[in-house]
Every structure is written in structure tokens, then in C-alpha cells.
Amino acid sequence: MDASRPGLRERTRRMMRAEIGSVAERLFLDQGFDATTMDQVAAEAGISRRTLFRYFDTKEDIVLDGLVERGHVLKEALESRPADEPPWQALRAAFLAQRDDPRNAPESLAKMSKMLETPSLRARMVEKQRQWVALLAPEVQRRLGAPPGPQPDPRAEALVLCALVCLDVAVETWVRAGGEGDVARIYDEVAAAVRG
């Protein structure tokens, strides 16, 4: 048996979370995030409110469910970059490797628009992205030539935060432009201004 493969219970849990997320996303897009209740999500998913709360604590958690996992994927992508690649280049490559398929651009645009225009979602998104700093900073610290220690190097944390802000600005610019333009080009322009 493959020890790296999740067991049946975990696979079932992931499938259930994905199904709830899909139902909730449709409701949020159709009637708006604030107008949608957890009771409606539970009813539409065919589960009880109590069961829903076993999977998600809040509506924000439903929408942003994949962000924590995406942080781990980014960490792996960053660690797989060439060992001597400078931190900014490695972060850029890791971020851009995780871009959504361009064929999903209309769906991504709709989801990001909702997130950016809903204050509670935006705040929760920032909070979850902040967790990425803890995941990415050790590799950036190594690339800076700083030895590992009990406390993260503040330079590594600052660099990761700056790169994440550049990514957020690039995505938000893309959303405001109605999905026109290239996120990678916008990111490069923003990052050049920050680094300049």
C-alpha cells in the first residue's frame, strides 16, 4: 500500500469538501456571497447544517478552502527551483507555475471579482496567504545564504511578503481590467518597481 496516498476516509472527506465548495460557489456567484446563508449551502448540498459545520466553520472558509493547500504546492514549487536561483526569480517562477489554466479565465475572473469585492473574503484571503510566508520563508532564507535558526530571518519574511503583495496587485489589476492583460507581465512590472 502506498503510504503517501491518503486513506479512504481522507479521500471521502476531500471529495465532500469539494462538492460543498462547488455548490456554495454556484450559490455565491448566483445570489452574492453576503446574501447566501450557510443553511442554503447545506440544503443545496443535501446535508444538514451540523454536517456542513463539520467541514467548514465559515462561508469564507468554503470559498478559500484551496488556499492553504495552494501554499504547500507553492512551497514544493519553490523548493524544486534550481538551488542557485536568486530568491526573487525563484518566487516568481513558483507563483507563475501555479497560474490557472487560461481556458478557465472567465471562471477565475468571476471568482476573483467576488473575492475582491467582498471585504470579509478579502480579509480572510490575506490571513490565509499570511500562512504562506511561514511555508516559503525558510527556502528564501536558504537562498539568501542565511543559516537556519529558531527564528525566521526577517529579510526572508519581508521578501516573501513583498513578492506576495506584487502577486496580489497583479491579479487585482487583471481583475479590474476584466481579465485583459497578462498577469506575469503585470507582476514583473510591479516587482521591478518594488525592487528598483
Distance CA 185, CA 112 (A): 18
- In CATH, the architecture of 64-195 is Orthogonal Bundle (1.10)
pLDDT of residue 39: 95
> Are 8-57 and 64-195 the same fold in CATH?
no
- In CATH, the architecture of 8-57 is Orthogonal Bundle (1.10)
pLDDT of residue 100: 65
Q: Which residue pairs, CB below 8 angstroms and at least 24 apart, start in 103-106?
A: 105/179, 106/179
Q: Determine how many CB atoms are found less than 10 A away from the CB of residue 54.
A: 11
Instruction: For residue range 26-67, list pLDDT tens digits in order.
Output: 998 888 888 999 999 999 999 999 999 999 999 888 988 878
Looking at the predicted structure, is the pLDDT value of residue 102 above 80? no
Distance CA 129, CA 112 (A): 14
pLDDT of residue 74: 92
Query: Which residues are CB-contacts of 192 (< 8 A; sequence separation ≥ 6)?
Result: none
Q: Determine how many CB atoms are found less than 10 A away from the CB of residue 168.
A: 17
Phi and psi (nearest 5°) for 180? Answer: -85, 150
pLDDT of residue 66: 78
Give the rounded percent of residues in the chain with a pLDDT score beyond 90.
53
Distance CA 2, CA 23 (A): 32
pTM > 0.85: yes or no: no
C-alpha cell at 118: 467582498
DSSP-H helix ranges across the chain: 8-31, 38-45, 49-55, 59-63, 65-79, 87-97, 105-117, 119-143, 154-176, 183-195
pLDDT of residue 177: 92
Domain ranges (residues) in the chain:
8-57, 64-195
Query: Which residues are CB-contacts of 75 (< 8 A; sequence separation ≥ 6)?
Result: 132, 135, 136, 139
Instruction: For residue range 153-172, list pLDDT tens digits in order.
Output: 999 999 999 999 999 999 99
Averaged confidence pLDDT in the chain: 89
Q: Helix 38-45 vs helix 8-31: angle between axes, to the nearest 10 degrees?
A: 120
- Residue with the bigger pLDDT between 132 and 101: it is 132
